[in-house]
Amino acid sequence: MLTPHLIEFPKLGAPDIGYISVAEEGQLLPFVPKRVFWTYHTPEEIVRGRHAHYKTEQVLVALAGRIVIVIERPDGELLSFRLDSPHVGLYIPPNNWHSMHYSETAIQLTFASELYSEADYIRDYATFRKVWQAPT
């Protein structure tokens, strides 16, 4: 089973001219993105996410500001990641409950492995636990 992990994208450039980071097909991203979206101007008191996916894989990048992501794995393990550099992304495999807390200036870029489908979302936590509970 794949686990959430950080991905460091190349940071090309220098302080005097600026930087560019690149994500090309077949390199660094564990899937070919079918959907790209971004989140911005999220008030700090709002918690976004609070769901899991049956099929979709994602890589989240904080283009600006700070994003703290809390992930609960199917086995109940809790992981926390802080994104605050535009050349570092967080891979989130399917079946992982995740919540995002943003600084007011945060801009989150998301690469998704699938097109949007409401049927792919698990929005109820009790359903997530039931669906992904390890057999006993």
Give the tokens for residue 91. 């891979």
SS3 category, 128: helix
CB-facing half-sphere around the CA of 11: CA atoms within 13 A: 11
pLDDT tens by residue, 30-67: 999 999 999 999 999 999 999 999 999 999 999 999 99
State the pLDDT at residue 32.
93
Question: H/E element holding 89?
Answer: strand 88-92
State the pLDDT at residue 25.
77
pLDDT tens by residue, 84-130: 999 999 999 999 999 999 999 999 999 999 999 999 999 999 999 98
Give the tokens for residue 34. 């079918």
**Which residues lie closer than 8 Å to 47 by C-beta, 6 or more apart?**
99, 100, 101
State the pLDDT at residue 2.
84
State the pLDDT at residue 1.
61
State the pLDDT at residue 24.
83
Question: Residue 12's pLDDT band (boundaries 50, 70, 90)?
Answer: very high
What are the φ and ψ backbone dihedral angles of 130, each rounded to 5 degrees?
Answer: -70, -45
- Buried/exposed 26-62: b ≥16 CB within 10 Å, e otherwise: eebbebebeeeeebeebeeeeeebebbbeebbbbbbb
Question: Residue 76's pLDDT band (boundaries 50, 70, 90)?
Answer: very high
State the pLDDT at residue 43.
94
Q: How far apart are CA 65 and CA 134, in angstroms?
A: 36
